[in-house]
Structure 1
Amino acid sequence: MIRLLSPGEALCCPDPLTGCRIETLADCYGSMANELKADCYRSGEGGVLCHWGDRLLLSGCCDPNELWDFALMLGAARIEGLPAAARLPDGWQLEQHPALIHAPAVSVSGERPPAVPADRLRRVFALLCEADPAFSAESDLLHWLSDLTRRRNRGRAEVFLLEDRATACLSAIGGGYAYLSMVATAPGARGRGLGGRLLHAVLQDCSRRKLSVVTAARDSALVPFYLRAGFRPLKSPLLIATRSRRAAAGGADDKESD
């Protein structure tokens, strides 16, 4: 049985990859009373779920059948942190991303990475769009600025910029972990090691703050980049289920042909 958590009830998320994101959402949006409110729940198996917008994040275990029914009841079109054994019903598609973690270094040296002042966030957004067509297609500047500003004001996110050509985003900080959502370098500046330099500085800064850094590589080709920086693979990848637009709209038949 999935129940709503009461205000102030401890989350205790077992999976750091989605757990720090759930903790961030609960802190930044848990008290809101509109469509952006983040509601947190606990499953009978001990997992923690967070519903925010059209997304449902899961940290830990949840009965698969109950999970699908719960997602449909909430109108969620995307479930992140899906259990490995879960079978997808019709109308849902599965994607997986390699998950990695970087533990705090024992000794830390070097300069702190250049954090981005508020008036430079538009440049960061433009750089992310320039570096990643998928981000450009999915993101809206005002929504991105509003969300990131709210997170930064509560100490739940940070953004870095190097030489105006490379950026790194810690989009969630909580429970001793920081979620690295993206490292991007402008196409014309690639091959100079800017991304690696910035990532190293960000990891050093997180080590000073006793934060482990977790990330999910969108492309398996990026895994060597993270391994060279000292990340190690987590046992399970990040599994994401996305409901097709046709299914969400009540399409007649969403089964794929054999």
Structure 2
Amino acid sequence: MDKPEVALDNCDEVYDFYLRHQQNRLAAKAAYGLLALKFRPRVTYADGAKEQVRALVRSDARLVLAVNHLSHSDPYTVAAAASASALRPAIGRTRVLAKDELFLEPKRRERVDLMGGIPVFRGKNHGMRAVNAAGQRMMDVCAERMRRGDDLAIFPEGTCNEEDPTRLQKIGSGIGHIMSRAVRLGVRPVLVYMGISYGPLPGKVARASVYLDNPVTEIPEKPADIARLVAAGLQRAVDGAVARY
């Protein structure tokens, strides 16, 4: 399957490709494991959350992992934490939303594709009007991938938090729209909140504190209500990660 150039004016072909693309699961597990050895995240859980996540993965529930966004290294931290946590069996069938710039350089794209990346064309880079159609298609692809059996990982803040790493930025409605569309396709998504803290030293990403809060199975119908639910739950996870750094 030929890889199309990841460019906004080529977005239909791009999303046709990522609707079908499947990484090598064994290679993905190995890559995630190497990242766990390199970054060595310290994963902790809310009371009962580890058992709940493990049971959900075992039951083949569709998970939406919501993660706060602090650094360009976050995808590697998330991959490392997944390998070192109850999420490990989901590696190789989890799609990760990633900014389109990460797909431009061929070697980096290979790594992002191996991690299950789906490109996102952001309004801050291309203009809101220009990315509207691509954004709608991206959300449809994510919902369909979930219907086909994939989980999803999202940084719902949309951009790195360069102000206060202990407080979430505004949560966009995108995660709500994706989950709402998945529900319309017959999926019953479960929210899992992952909070990350790198502590007080800027640039230090090894040994991050990663906290998994209790999964949420009751999801509101409206995208805006889902976004508000995510904002509250993900802040709890961030608080947990900060407290355990």
Shorter-chain TM-score bucket reads: 0.3 to 0.5
TM-score scaled to structure 1, two decimals?
Answer: 0.32
TM-score scaled to structure 2, two decimals?
Answer: 0.33
More helix by share: 2
More strand by share: 1
Q: Which protein shows a greater Rg?
A: 1
